[in-house]
Amino acid sequence: AIFSHEDLDLIFSNISLITIINSKFLETLDHEWKSPSVPAFGRVIAEAAKQMRGVYTRYICNYAEADRRLSELKANGGDQQRYLDVCRTHPDAKGLDLRSFLIQPVQRVPRYRLLLEELLALTPDDEAEVADLRA
C-alpha cells in the first residue's frame, strides 16, 4: 500500500460522512423545490444544519493535523510524493493538489453562513420560514 490506513484515516478524517450529508441535503432541497406545495426550505436547512454541525466540527478540528501529515508525506518524497503528483495531473483534478480539495469543507462553513444570512435578509419577517432559518 502506498499510504498506511492510519495516514488515510488521519488525512481524510470523516470526509465520506460530509459527502453523504451534503448529498442528502442537496437531494432534499431538490425535492422541496420540485414539490407542488410551498417549499419548506427553512425546515430543510435547519435539519441539515443540525447534522452538519458535529460532522464539520470534527473535520475542521482534525484538519491542521491532516495537513501537517500530508506535508510530511510529500516532503519525504518516494511513492507517496509520486502518487500525489500523478493525482494532481489527472484531468478530473484540474491541476489542483490534494490539499486544495481537503480545504474545501473548511471553507464551506463560512459560505453556508453567508448564504443563510443573505437568505434571512431577503425573507420577509412574517414568513413562516424565518423561525426555522434562525434556529
- Dist CA 129 CA 46 (whole Å): 10
Region 32-43: mean pLDDT is 82
Domain boundaries, given as residue ranges, for the chain: 5-134
CATH number (1.20.900.10, 3.40.50.10420, 3.30.360.10, 3.90.960.10) of 5-134 reads 1.20.900.10
In the prediction, which pLDDT does 125 show? Answer: 86
In the prediction, which pLDDT does 59 show? Answer: 98
State the pTM of this model.
Answer: 0.86
Tens digits of residue pLDDT in 102-134: 999 999 999 999 998 998 898 888 887 888 888
Q: Which of 116, 109, 112 is nearest to 132 (CA)?
A: 116
| Grid cell for residue 114 | 453567508
Q: Which of 39, 34, 36 is nearest to 129 (CA)?
A: 39
